[in-house]
């Protein structure tokens, strides 16, 4: 096929603002934009304890002064009314959705447990269920069509309904340890059917065949549990992050040996873990949020960046929740709720800097090699960036002047055109560079403005095409 070059290939040029900096290149992280939901938008109170989503996609927010029902367009506040149908108490401490029953279950600080029916939009008070929990419900956890609840004290309850919709309750007592009053912080279940309870004094477990809870280990700093990767379990012990992998779960006494995630070290206590996808989680301290990526049992952490940090100033993050539209909800104790959208379109800003160069840099062309590295042609030569973050930015050998075009050919070689030369980096080896002008039969340029400029490959015919002012060159690859 005869190719006709109508004009020199128009290469894109990115003008990058900024003068000299002491590092070769700066990549900014994804910057998320927060949307706030506070008393100014109708939230009942700024001190938010818990957030869940119901089967219809609505968001429920439990605050220290009322229950909030957010549809995305409107916000309805429910408060206790002693003379009518209402939530049992204004201090909401725990929420759980029970989709099969079309219900939202609500734990309170002062008057135990109640539920809200999404079809009838009526509340049902269940005072007898929460006896011996001192009326303070801190945790609700649904498992195998049962609802587990715990709070202040060493008593746990398990609620279930028979075929006639009659409620039944089993009561369990946690063993006393450390001579301190128990306070249930979290309830989870593992793939073996064990019920796990994290408290302010340690971790307890009840197997499917047992009627009692046993102490797995004591911890004076307390234990919080969260569902983890591929059936694993996250644990926060003394503000540090631990993980029980699925492989470790096969051991009989696996709970006694939590594995610390040593690759994640921050100077503040971790508060919660939240699942985004099977391989991505968020963890938070009281002031920062981090993304955790799990690849082949290795953890990679990245701090989440925001365009505005006013929500976090003089505030404390309690926990996170990800809804089914990939919005991340942040509940706090002073500023209400904020959320950010994980699906937002992001623009990454790249700035090249070179201490030996006192002018602004221009990007002429970009290609990606087989090692997932970006080759970036500029007016000061080629730079290479490893997109996997395994190495820092570096300058490739062979040229310090303007680059006009780059090509990654079908053999993995990197081609580079300059004002009066064609360079090849065999197999993308940035330390080896050869000039095509020295090759036998290669035409010499008549002046410094001939080119070459544009470059492309006909992969089917294994031909490299190069554009010049006076025509095109054909190189059989």
- Quick one: pLDDT at residue 248? 81
Q: Could you give the 3-state DSSP secondary structure of residue 426?
A: helix
pLDDT digits (tens, 9 = 90+) for 184-230: 999 999 988 999 999 998 999 999 999 999 999 999 899 999 999 88
What pTM, to 2 d.p., does this model score?
Answer: 0.68
Q: Is the pLDDT of residue 446 over 50?
A: no
Is residue 203 within 8 A of residue 255, CB to CB? The reply is yes
Residue 358 region, left (φ>0) first, then alpha (ψ -120 to 50), else beta?
alpha
Taking alpha carbons only, the member of 451, 408, 405, 403 closest to residue 427 is 408
- Quick one: pLDDT at residue 5? 32
Rounded distance between C-alpha atoms, residue 4 and residue 386, angstroms: 36
Listed range (18-32, 273-287, 463-477) with the worst mean pLDDT: 18-32
Q: Is the pLDDT of residue 284 over 70?
A: yes
Q: Is the pLDDT of residue 461 over 90?
A: no
Q: Is the pLDDT of residue 42 over 70?
A: yes
- The DSSP code for 444 is P
- Give ∠ CA 403-408-412 in degrees, rounded to 5: 135
Taking alpha carbons only, the member of 109, 113, 108, 106 closest to residue 131 is 113
pLDDT digits (tens, 9 = 90+) for 354-390: 554 445 678 889 999 988 789 999 888 998 887 665 5
pLDDT digits (tens, 9 = 90+) for 109-143: 878 899 999 999 999 988 767 666 555 788 889 98
Alpha helices in 161-313 (DSSP H): none
Q: Is the pLDDT of residue 17 over 60?
A: no
Q: Is the pLDDT of residue 353 over 60?
A: no
Is residue 287 within 8 A of residue 312, CB to CB? The reply is yes
CA 209 to chain centre: 37
């Amino acid at each position: 096929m005869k190719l006709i070059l109508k004009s020199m290939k128009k290469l894109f040029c990115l003008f990058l603002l900024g003068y000299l900096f002491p590092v070769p290149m700066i990549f900014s992280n994804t910057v998320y934009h927060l949307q706030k939901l506070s008393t100014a938008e109708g939230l009942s109170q700024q001190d938010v304890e818990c957030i869940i989503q119901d089967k219809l996609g609505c968001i429920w927010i439990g605050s220290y002064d009322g229950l909030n029902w957010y549809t995305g367009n409107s916000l309805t506040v429910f408060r206790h009314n002693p003379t009518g149908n209402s939530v049992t108490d204004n201090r909401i401490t725990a929420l759980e959705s029970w989709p099969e029953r079309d219900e939202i279950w609500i734990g309170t600080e002062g008057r135990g447990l109640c539920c809200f029916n999404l079809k009838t939009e009526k509340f049902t008070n269940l005072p007898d269920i929460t006896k011996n929990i001192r009326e303070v419900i801190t945790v609700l956890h649904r498992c195998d069509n049962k609802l587990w609840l715990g709070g202040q004290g060493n008593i746990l309850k398990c609620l279930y309904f028979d075929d006639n919709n009659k409620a039944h309750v089993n009561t369990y007592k946690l063993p006393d340890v450390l001579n301190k009053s128990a306070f249930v912080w979290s309830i989870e279940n593992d793939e073996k059917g064990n019920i796990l309870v994290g408290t302010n004094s340690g971790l307890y477990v009840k197997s499917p065949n047992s009627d009692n809870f046993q102490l797995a280990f004591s911890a004076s700093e307390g234990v919080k549990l969260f569902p983890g990767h591929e059936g694993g379990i996250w644990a926060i012990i003394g503000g540090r992050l631990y993980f029980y992998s699925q492989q470790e779960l096969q051991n009989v006494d696996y709970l006694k040996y939590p594995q610390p995630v040593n690759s994640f070290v921050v100077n503040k206590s971790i508060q919660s873990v939240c699942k985004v996808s099977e391989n991505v989680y968020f963890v938070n301290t009281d002031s920062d949020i981090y993304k955790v990526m799990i690849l082949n049992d290795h953890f990679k952490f990245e701090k989440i960046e925001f365009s505005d940090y006013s929500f976090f100033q003089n505030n404390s993050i309690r926990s996170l929740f990800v809804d089914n539209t990939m919005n991340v909800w942040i509940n706090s104790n002073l500023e209400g709720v904020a959320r950010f959208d994980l699906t937002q379109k992001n623009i990454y800003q790249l700035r090249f800097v070179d201490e030996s160069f006192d002018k602004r840099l221009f990007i002429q062309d970009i290609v990606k090699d087989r090692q997932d590295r970006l080759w970036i042609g500029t007016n000061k030569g080629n730079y290479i960036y490893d997109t996997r973050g395994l190495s820092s930015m570096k300058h490739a050998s062979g040229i310090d002047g303007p680059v006009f075009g780059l090509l990654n050919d079908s053999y993995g070689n990197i081609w580079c055109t300059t004002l009066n030369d064609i360079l090849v980096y065999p197999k993308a080896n940035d330390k080896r560079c050869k000039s095509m002008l020295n090759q036998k039969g290669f035409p010499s340029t008549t002046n410094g403005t001939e080119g070459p400029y544009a470059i492309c490959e006909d992969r089917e015919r294994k031909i490299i095409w190069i554009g010049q002012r006076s025509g095109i060159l054909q190189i059989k690859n």
